[in-house]
């Protein structure tokens, strides 16, 4: 064995620490997960409408109109054109809410909150439901105290789906950090 072979040092295997996503990345992944959760919420809602033959909720449109009045920013148009704009804004508001709650969930995870998939799913779905319904209640668009069991089921089940899909998507993104 030569002197150079004796002096050569075998490199130590690199130790790669698993790093948590930074806040910006966590918020972005959370918003994307929230968008996926919103798709699940919509799918469960539409399935419920199909099975029970119920009409779509008018609360998103009512919320848009109430906010428009509150901030004194009228929605342009008349008749069907105005109604369509209001319906479109209601859908956009729901997507923004879903992405925002997902972003909050992603940020919470990056700060170390990870209670387990079931609890996390229920918490994320519950926060989404609270955010949506508290705003509508504050604007007097709806009053959850007057809801029937069927009304509650048509709100709770889609939000459970939202929470489950949002958390599952966040879990998938965890591997991309």
Per residue in 100-157, pLDDT (tens digit) is 999 999 999 999 998 999 999 999 999 999 999 999 999 999 999 999 999 999 999 9
pLDDT in tens, 54-94: 999 999 999 999 999 999 999 999 999 999 999 999 999 99
pTM of the model: 0.85
Mean pLDDT computed over 154-173:
96
* Listed residue (174, 100, 169) closest to 135, CA to CA: 100
Residue 51 has pLDDT above 80, yes or no: yes
Mean pLDDT computed over 37-45:
98
Mean pLDDT computed over 145-174:
95
Distances (CA, A) of 118 to 44, 114, 123, 139, 168: 18, 10, 9, 32, 10
Residues 6+ apart with CB under 8 A from 138: none
Residue with the larger pLDDT of the pair 20 and 147:
147
Residue 19 has pLDDT above 60, yes or no: no
Q: How far apart are CA 149 and CA 133, in angstroms?
A: 16
Give the pLDDT confidence score for residue 15 in this predicted structure: 45
């Amino acid at each position: 064995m030569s002197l150079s072979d004796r002096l050569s040092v075998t490199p130590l295997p690199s130790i790669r620490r698993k790093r948590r996503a930074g806040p910006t990345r966590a918020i972005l992944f959370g918003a994307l997960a929230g968008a996926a959760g919103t798709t699940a919420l919509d799918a469960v809602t539409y399935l419920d409408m199909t099975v029970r033959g119920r009409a779509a909720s008018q609360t998103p449109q009512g919320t848009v109109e109430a906010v428009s009045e509150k901030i004194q920013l009228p929605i342009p148009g008349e008749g069907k054109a105005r109604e369509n704009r209001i319906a479109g804004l209601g859908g956009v508001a729901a997507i923004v809410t879903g992405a925002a709650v997902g972003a909050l969930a992603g940020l919470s995870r990056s700060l170390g909150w990870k209670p387990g998939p079931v609890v996390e799913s229920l918490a994320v779905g519950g926060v989404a439901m609270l955010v949506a319904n508290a705003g509508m209640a504050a604007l007097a668009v709806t009053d959850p105290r007057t809801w029937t069991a069927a009304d509650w089921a048509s709100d709770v089940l889609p939000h459970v789906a939202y929470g489950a899909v949002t958390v599952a998507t966040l879990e998938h993104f965890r591997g991309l950090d």
